[in-house]
Structure formats: C-alpha cells, structure tokens
Chain A
Amino acid sequence: MPRPRQFFRKWRLPGLRAQGVGTNAPSWGIVALFILPAFLLYTVFMIWPLAQSFYFSLFEFKGLARGSFVGLHNFRELFTRYPLNEQLPRAFLHNVYFFIGTMLVQNTLGLLFAKLLYKPRFGKRFFQTVYTMPYLISALVVGYLWSLMLNPLFGPVNRVLKAIGLGAWARPWLGDPATALPAIILANAWQWVGFPMLLFSAGLANIGEDLREAARIDGATRWRLFWHIELPLLLPVIGIVTVLTFIGNFNVFGIVWAMGGVNGEPAGATDVLGLVFYRTAFRGGVDAFGLASALAVLMFIFIFGVSMIMVNLFRRWEENLR
C-alpha cells in the first residue's frame, strides 16, 4: 500500500524550489484555498495517526480505550511475552531472507533483462510489457494463483516436473517448511521483476553511446564493458532498487497471507513482520493496541533508519567512484 518506490525521488527532483517561476504569489486566502484540502486530508488521515503511534506506544490500552501511561512497558512485553517473544525474531529473520532472496533473484534477473532489452531490438516492447504485467495483479491474487499452481495434488508445477522427468523434484512446496518461504519469494519476484528491469533499462539508456564506443575501441569485451563501465555507472539506480526492495520486503503482507495464511503456515515457516503486526493489533488480547503501537514504532524506526543508512552508503560509494 505505501508506494515506497518513490523513496529516492526526493533527491532526484529538478529542485524543490520552483525555478524561474514567478514569485509573485497570490494572496494568502487564495493560496490557502488551493493548499488546504490536500493538506487537511493528508494530515488528518496519514501524518497525525503516524505521529500518534509514537505517543500511543507508551500507554496501556483496554480494548479501544486508552488507559494509563506505562512508559516502555509495551516494548518490554514485545520481547518477553509468549508467543510474541518467539514469533518476532523469527518473523524478522524471514523478512531478512526475503530481502536477500529478492535481491539475488528478482533484481539480478531484472538487471539481466534490462541489459538484454534496453536497446531497440525486435520484440523489445513485447517483452517489456509481458515482464511488467504481473506487477498490476494484486499481491493477494498472485499469492492465490501460485498456491493453486503449487498445489501438491492438482498443481500444474508438479505435473510439469513429472512430465519432463523431474518427478523426484515434485513436492508439496507450500506444505514443507524448507521450501515454503523460498516459494513465496519466487512468486513475489515473478510479480515484481519488471520493476527493476524498467529502472535498470532507463539507467542503461542514460549511459552515453560514445562511452561504450570508446571502450569498444580500446578492445573491451562485452563482459568488461558491463563490469567496468556500465555497472559502476548504474550505481545510483542500484541504490534506488536496493532501498525500494528493502522497504517493500519489510512491508510484505498480502502475498504471504494468501500463500501461508494469517499465521504464516506451515508452522510459522513463512511468518513475517507484517503478519505479526496484524495479529498483534487485531487478533491479540485486550491490551493489543498498545503492544501493536510499540511494534509499529520499532518497525518504523528500523525500516526508516536502515533505508537512510543505505541511502548514505550508496551516495558515498558513488562519490568514491567519481
């Protein structure tokens, strides 16, 4: 739901200030009429609740009613109360796997496809369109679609494996704790691979053709051209893709719900932070809202903090290369 893919954009704007645009602003009344509707809607339903999460995390809740101030009690509870104290670290680890797996599979494939498709070639538009198409489908629908595909009895995946003589590989993919999370990561990559592909394509198209020509004249092979020229110049885009993947993967929810259920079956092998947060808030005990607010604060700080660190690391790395 949050659209994190715009995360980096802030720094890539032509400039926040209007450039060369008239500064003779209309009267305050008119400015307010234009700005206020968006400002109120955005502030009341997004910013204010987000800010309140921090405040609420310090209170004890009884159902919907806010009780007394309890300091960091809710935060302590998250790490000491059973079963949260076991579910939380496990779910966190699964999100980390999710991120690593997605970087390795989805974004590497995206880069490969971008490299093959950024130049005008026969069928370029067709392939780009097809690869991007699943992005449109709801994460929940993708999850249900792949849970049918991977069904142990009637699922086409196992049938195809048997048909091509790989019957030994056929297994209940989503029923086996060892393969359930990787299967979900792959289904998610299937949905999203078009996104890094488009970003990398745009990045590759920006690299001047003369630079490639110069490298070729100097006798660079395709591989050296890619490794020593294109990849370093893609670093800003790699940074964007990495940070957006991180944010997206730590917010993953619908696809895991569809393929592993609200408890991340089998036996919690696919449980992720998004599901734990949902369960804590809406399937928890009487003091659920306080606990969930505390968890929201921790997740917020972690996701935001790590994104910022990544942004800075990539920026420094970029500067070092210049």
Chain B
Amino acid sequence: MSASKATRRRKKIDFVSLGTQLLLWGYAAVVLGPLLLVVNNALRPSREIFKNPLGLATSPSFDSFVKAWEKANFNTYFLNSLIITVAAVLLATAVSALAGYMLGRYQFRGSAFLSAYFLAGLMLPFRLAIVPLFLLLDDLGLVDSRLGLILVYAATGIPFSIFILSSFFRQLPQELSEAARIDGASEFTLFGRIMLPLVRPALATVVVFQFVPLWNDFFFPLVLLRSTDKWTLPVGMTRFFGEFQTDWSTLFAGLIITTLPLIIIFLLATKQIIAGLTAGIGK
C-alpha cells in the first residue's frame, strides 16, 4: 500500500520534471530561434531568404556584412556609437568615482542631502526634459554635436554609478584610510592609490551597466543629432531599414553589427550584468 503510494508519487514527480524540462528548453528555443535565424539569414543572399525563409545557409558568405558596413554607412555609425558611448561612460565613471568616494566615506554637512539628490536621478524620466535640454544645448552650440550627446549621456549615468560606487567605498575598512593618513598620504593619494583599486569589481559593474543602455539609446541621438555623419547605430538603423527594405540579408547583417559589441560584453561580463540587475535584492 505505502509502496504503491511511493511509486505513484515518484511517477508524478517525474511528470512534473519532464514538463519543467520541456518548458525550459521550449522557451530557450523561443529566445535562441530568432537569434540563430538572424545569423543564418545574414550569411545567405536575400533571394534565397525570400524563396525559403527557414532554409539553411549552405554556402555562408559575408557579402551582406561588407555591404552593410560600407554601403549602408555602418562603418560611420559604428565609430560614432563607439566614440560617444566610451567617452560618456568614462566621463560618468570618473566623476562618479570621485563623488561616490566622498559620499561613501565621509559625513559632512549636506552629505545626506547630496546622496539623496544624486539618488533621485534613478527614478526621474529624463527623456521628458528634452525640450529645455534641446534649448540649453542650442545655446551652447552643442546641438548636432557628439560632445553634446556625450555630456547628456554622462549626466544620465551619474545616479546609478554613484549609487553603486558609494556603497562599495562605504564597505572598505576604516583602518586602511587611518594607516594611509598616518603615513602622510593626501586625500587624492588615498583615493587613487588605495581605495579606487579596491572597488574594481564595482567599477566593472558600473562601466558595463552604463555601456549597454547608452549603446542602445535611440531617443537622444534622434533628437540631438542632425547630420548623418554624426549618427549613432540606432538612428542610422531607422534610415537603413527604409533604404534596404527589400534586401533582408543586409538588414540581418546590420542587426548583427549593431548587437555584436554587446554580445561580446555579455560573454565577458555576465557576472557584472547579473549583479547590476539584482543590485539591492538579496545576496
């Protein structure tokens, strides 16, 4: 009696875990299917895609990548995206490390207010400020300028960076700074030589976490950049999709070129990405 109950129970569990496996692999296919399809179709000419959308690239060729890169201006867009994103991330990380250090290590008059002031940026929808921002940049001669976009992007990265970095600086042991001060180190030496190297993991999280949304951002360059030679990948993509409507192979290649740097980052920094996404919850 009890034995049969036990087997029934085991069977039920097997059924559940079978369903679980099916579900997990099924959804993995839903995610990976379209991505593999993109790669596959970028490697074969458009007329083959139209003949058989699900066919395999039997003789892979990189022609469409060359076409997207040279004819569709992806070389220009890619370089612009790279310059703007890297410059903005470096600028935001540098100023945030300085401010995060001060706010994380010391209490002074106004330090609580300043922390709250920077943190508030985490929940403000900055896109809604585009009209005054546009007018401000126009006054400064920074509309249709890469520098203008870099400054805006750097500013948007500051709240998250300060949030992460100050909480890391705060956790460093007090004895470190005392020892350094006894040795006569200045505040800048203490910061640059001792503290900054110790928060390297946080710096990595901050860099990766700013890079992704800035690389992908579409709204600000759409509004702030006019000349096509300054366009970043997402804005360039809108024109590209109009011009190459009938050339799917090139379209797919364009999608890959745009995403490739992020895939590389993801593979190199999965840990930082997951840490950043779940920062503040649990372990």
Asked if B125 and A4 sit within 8 Å, CB to CB, the answer is yes
Q: A6-B160, A49-B132, A137-B259 are in contact. Are A145 and B38 (CB under 8 A)?
A: yes
* A45 in the interface (beta carbon within 8 A): yes
Closest A-chain residue to B101, C-beta based? A34
| B262 at interface by CB-CB < 8 Å | yes
Contacting pair B24 A41 (CB below 8 A): no
Contact residues of A between 261 and 311, Cβ < 8 Å to B: 274, 277-278, 281-282, 289, 292-293, 296, 299-300, 303-304, 307
Contact (Cβ within 8 A) B170 A21: yes
Q: Give which listed residue, B136, B177, B282, contacts A206 with CB less than 8 A.
A: B282
Surface stretch bound by B, among A80-88, A92-100, A147-155: A147-155
Find chain B residues with CB under 8 A from A64 CB.
135, 138
Cβ–Cβ contact B280 & A6, under 8 A: yes
Q: Is A72 an interface residue (CB 8 A)?
A: no
Q: Is the CB of B277 within 8 A of A195?
A: yes
Among the listed stretches A126-134, A177-185, A224-232, which one makes contact with chain B, having 4 or more residues with CB under 8 Å of it?
A: A126-134
Contacting chain A: which of B56-64, B66-74, B196-204, B214-222? B214-222
Instruction: Say yes or no: A130-B31 contact (C-beta < 8 A), given A31-B102, A136-B259, A254-B219.
Output: yes
Given contacts A41-B154, A45-B152, A247-B125, contact A159 B53 (CB under 8 A): yes
In the complex, chain A residues whose CB is within 8 Å of the CB of B98: 33-35, 37-38
Question: Which one of A112, A257, A293 lies within 8 Å of B218 (CB-CB)?
Answer: A257
Main secondary structure on A side of the interface with B: helix
Q: Does B283 contact A (CB under 8 A)?
A: yes
**B-facing residues in A137-186 (Cβ within 8 Å):** 137-141, 144-146, 148-149, 153-156, 159-160, 163
Q: Which residues of B contact A222 (CB under 8 A)?
A: 16
Interface residues of B in 106-138 (CB under 8 A from A): 106-108, 111-112, 114-116, 118-119, 121-133, 135-136, 138
| A53 pairs with B128, CB closer than 8 A | yes
Chain B residues near A39 (CB-CB < 8 A): 99, 114
Shortest CB-to-CB span from A173 to chain B, Å, is 14
Q: Please state if B263 and A136 are interface contacts (CB–CB under 8 Å).
A: yes
- Once the chains bind, are A138 and B31 in contact (CB under 8 Å)? no
User: Cβ of B24: which chain A residues have Cβ within 8 Å of it?
Assistant: 113, 116-117, 123, 127
Q: Are B280 and A2 in contact (CB under 8 A)?
A: no
**A316 CB contacts on chain B under 8 angstroms:** none
Residue pair B99, A299 in contact (C-beta under 8 Å): no
Instruction: List 6 additional A-B contacts (Cβ < 8 Å) besides A25-B111, A281-B130.
Output: A6-B123, A10-B122, A13-B167, A34-B187, A138-B259, A145-B255
Could you list 27 A-B pairs, sorted by A, with CB under 8 Å? A1-B127, A1-B213, A1-B220, A21-B104, A22-B178, A23-B107, A39-B99, A42-B158, A49-B136, A128-B274, A140-B218, A141-B255, A144-B251, A144-B255, A149-B37, A155-B53, A163-B54, A198-B274, A198-B277, A198-B278, A202-B281, A202-B283, A203-B281, A247-B125, A253-B127, A254-B216, A278-B222
- Nearest first, the 7 A-B pairs at minimum CB distance are A138-B216, A52-B132, A45-B155, A38-B99, A49-B132, A25-B108, A49-B129
- Could you list which residues of chain A lie within 8 angstroms of chain B, going by C-beta atoms? 1-10, 12-14, 16-26, 30-31, 33-35, 37-39, 41-42, 44-50, 52-53, 56, 64, 109, 112-113, 116-117, 123, 126-141, 144-146, 148-149, 153-156, 159-160, 163, 190, 195, 198-199, 201-203, 205-206, 222, 237, 240, 247, 251, 253-254, 257-258, 274, 277-278, 281-282, 289, 292-293, 296, 299-300, 303-304, 307
Q: Which residues of B contact A (CB under 8 A)?
A: 16, 20, 23-24, 27-28, 30-32, 34-35, 37-38, 49-50, 53-54, 91-92, 94-96, 98-99, 101-108, 111-112, 114-116, 118-119, 121-133, 135-136, 138, 151-152, 154-156, 158-160, 162-163, 167, 170, 174, 177-178, 187, 191, 212-213, 215-220, 222-223, 233-234, 237-238, 241, 248, 251-252, 255, 258-259, 262-263, 265-266, 270, 273-274, 277-283
